[in-house]
Amino acid sequence: MKKGLVIAGSILSAVCIIVALISLFAAIGFEPESDNILHDTRTDGTTYNFDEGDSFVLQVYAIGSVNCEDFTVSVIGPDDQSYEYFKPVCDEVFDTTEYTYLGDLSISESGTYEIEATGDIVITNANSIGIGGIVSMVSCGCCFIGLILLIVGLVTGKPKPQVMMVQPDGTIMAVQGQFVQQTPMSDQVSNQPQPMVVQSQQNVPQETSLEEYSFEQKNEWE
């Protein structure tokens, strides 16, 4: 195991996951406010003057709670009266208590655009959502790289050499770094057959000289 890769991969993955989650929640929590509303048909009318520097992500909201499927919006430009710049997207995730999300505007050129809608709408500068989406995608990519580094660090690396020491008494000692592990050898018992000494008791009969005894007895009788 390579500790450097493991630590780097873990930190990179954790940071990227946190950044991606923050960006995601920030995008979901977006709502029309006074500082991001570019056009409000209640006060600005149905003619929208767009400047290229205003925003690169434009979202359209209906005022109040409405049925997105039944609410119609049309935005046409000065050059091509047949081209529709409004793209309907009904997604309740972006709905708020005061506004209903209707869709996006795909406007990139400065000019005057005419709005036709079932009711009043607001056009918002949603650059924060676009930036958050980009940050989330980049974070996911970095997180993937971090996971690769983590896996590579875990599966690679040379194992530490193991040094074996044999003691005079036959005990094997495994030396690993600063630790010494003592592993006793298997008892080698030499079961050599012990010679059995059989001492046969030989009953040696005492020799009795019968002839001598008889001769002496005979002399006494005489």
Which of 95, 115, 119 is CA-nearest to residue 105? 115
**What mean pLDDT is predicted for residues 97-106?**
91
Q: Go through the chain and tell me how many residues it has.
A: 222
pLDDT at position 115, please? 93
For CA atoms 90, 92, 94, 97, the dihedral sign is positive
Helix and strand totals (H; E) in the chain: 4, 11
Burial per residue of 61-88, b for 16 or more beta-carbon CB atoms within 10 angstroms, e otherwise: bbbeebebeebebebbbeeeeeeebbee
Res. 74: pLDDT tops 70: yes
The per-residue pLDDT for range 152-170, each reduced to its tens digit, is: 777 786 666 667 777 777 6
Domain boundaries of the chain, sorted by first residue: 1-30+126-183, 33-125
Q: How far is CA 94 from CA 28, 61, 111, in A?
A: 6, 9, 28
List the structure tokens of 78: 């000065």
Which of these ranges, 30-44, 49-63, 146-160, 202-216, has the smallest mean pLDDT? 202-216
pTM of the predicted structure, to 2 decimals: 0.55
Distant-in-sequence, close-in-space partners of 3: CB < 8 Å, separation ≥ 6: 153
User: Of residues 36 and 128, which shows the higher confidence score?
Assistant: 36
If you average pLDDT over residues 11-31, what whole number do you get?
Answer: 75
Residue 102: helix, strand or coil by DSSP?
strand
| Partners of residue 99 on adjacent β-strands | 63
